[in-house]
Amino acid sequence: MKNVGRHAVAAAIAVIALAGCGSTSVEGQAETTKPQAGEPAFDPCSIPDEALRAAGVDPASESRDILGVKQPGWNLCDWGGDGSAITVFVTAQGLDDVRANGRFTNFTPVELDGREAFTFREVTDKRNEYCDVVFTSGTDTVMVKSGYFTGRTPPEGPCPRAVKNAQILAPSIPH
């Protein structure tokens, strides 16, 4: 529970950092909904279980929002696995807004399902435990945060895992 709480706090920090700056289904893709103004369309909790398992997290560990509290302008979902966790954040803010946020650093282009995508780090992550991959989904911006629980980050850091997880999950997220 201690690790889940730490990941929820990391998720809350990321949402707060970014806050400063009808339903349809397609077979093989996660569900999108008709959003209210300023709200994202994609629901990350609709990512299929098989994709989550392939990314190394347990679908049954799903946690919506931050400790169950909806964050205005955001949809997010969090899952845990063996020593690691994934949070998928979705916002109606533009990709350029995310890239311009001073709380994020080290934007590096990556290949992701034919989409413009970048890895980035949060300047507050002094332990090198988290890395995000950011890309667009329709009018939404999606961030796939991958992290390791304390003491489990491999020598190469968290970004290789973040890219792998984003590559696994991206086909389930609408273009």
Q: Which residues contact 55 (CB under 8 A, 6 or more apart)?
A: 81, 86, 164, 165, 168, 169
Confidence (pLDDT) at 150: 78
What stretches of the chain show up as alpha helix (H) in DSSP?
2-20, 49-54, 95-100, 159-169
| Global confidence as pTM | 0.81
Confidence (pLDDT) at 35: 54
Confidence (pLDDT) at 9: 47
CB atoms near residue 105 (< 10 Å):
11
What's the DSSP call for residue 34?
Answer: -
Confidence (pLDDT) at 113: 85
Chunk the chain into consecutive blocks of 10 residues (it has 175) and report each block's average pLDDT, rounded to whole numbers: 46 47 42 67 97 97 92 95 93 94 96 94 94 96 93 91 97 96
CB atoms near residue 58 (< 10 Å):
13
Alpha-carbon gap, residue 57 to 114, rounded angstroms: 24
What's the farthest any 2 CA atoms get from each other in the chain? 45
**Yes or no: is domain 2-172 CATH 3.40.1000?**
yes
- 7 three-state secondary structure: helix
